[in-house]
Amino acid sequence: MSEVRANWSQRKAAFFDVDETIVSVKSMREFLNYFHDMRGDVPVWDEFVGSLPLNAPRELVNASYYSLWKGLSRRQVRFAGQEWFTTASRGEGFYIEPVVAEIDELRSKGFEIVLVSGSFDVVLDPLAKELRADHVLCSEMTFVGDTYSGSVARAMIGPAKSDAILAYCAERRIDPAECIAFGDHPTDLAMLESVGTGVWVREGGRKEFHRSSARIG
């Protein structure tokens, strides 16, 4: 065990789910409706959800959602993502302030800040820049040239989050036991259990430790 620990670097990371953990909205839904509204179309989220099987698993919802972008220009969607974030982030209550404060505190203690989300880069990159996050682990789409293919190379849902976190730590020689993760949904459970301290974020940003452990810091 001592040899294993000797191989760890001194770095540590804090991993954050995004929707309803850092921000109060569901970014995939809000951005989809914003994008179609910007083009003069009717909002399509309700129609999209209605097309899915009852109680469809999040993995299916995620894959079906990204199929809606098939044929669209990556450049166009990225521009819209920045516009959506600029508008949405000005709204009252957009951020869950206690969690944003936690991000600032952990950064001051030397933690790398990593966003982990089933959403995609065009929505998350502006947020990451605003929060000064070090890295984003998210769903990755595939392309034909500059056009969305409609398929997903990696869906960042459920166990995929914990896999990505452990891979991130291994690549950087970070001990997962020295890390902390925040999430709000049952599908975040594997993510919370993959690190030393897992924190449930409840309504209003109230935090509950997933396991009985001392606060990292």
Concatenating the DSSP letter of every residue in 62-109 gives HHHHHHTTTT-BHHHHHHHHHHHHHHHTTSTT-B-HHHHHHHHHHHHT
Q: Which residues have C-beta within 8 Å of that of residue 142, sequence separation ≥ 6? A: 148, 149, 151, 152, 153
Give the pLDDT of residue 8.
81
Give the pLDDT of residue 213.
42
Give the pLDDT of residue 36.
86
Q: In the CATH scheme, what is the code of domain 2-209?
A: 3.40.50.1000
Q: What is the CA radius of gyration of the chain?
A: 18
Indicate the domain borders of the chain. Answer: 2-209
E-state strands within 101-194: 111-117, 135-138, 140-144, 147-154, 180-183
Q: Which residues pair with 73 in a beta bridge?
A: 147
Tokens representing 81? 């993502």
Give the pLDDT of residue 42.
53
In order along its 217 residues, the chain shows pLDDT tens digits of: 444 555 788 899 999 999 999 999 999 999 999 998 887 665 576 677 667 777 777 788 888 889 889 999 999 999 999 999 999 999 999 999 999 999 999 999 999 999 999 999 999 999 999 999 999 999 999 999 999 999 999 999 989 999 999 999 999 999 999 999 999 988 899 999 999 999 999 876 677 665 534 333 3
Q: Which residues pair with 115 in a beta bridge?
A: 16, 136
- State the pTM of this model: 0.88
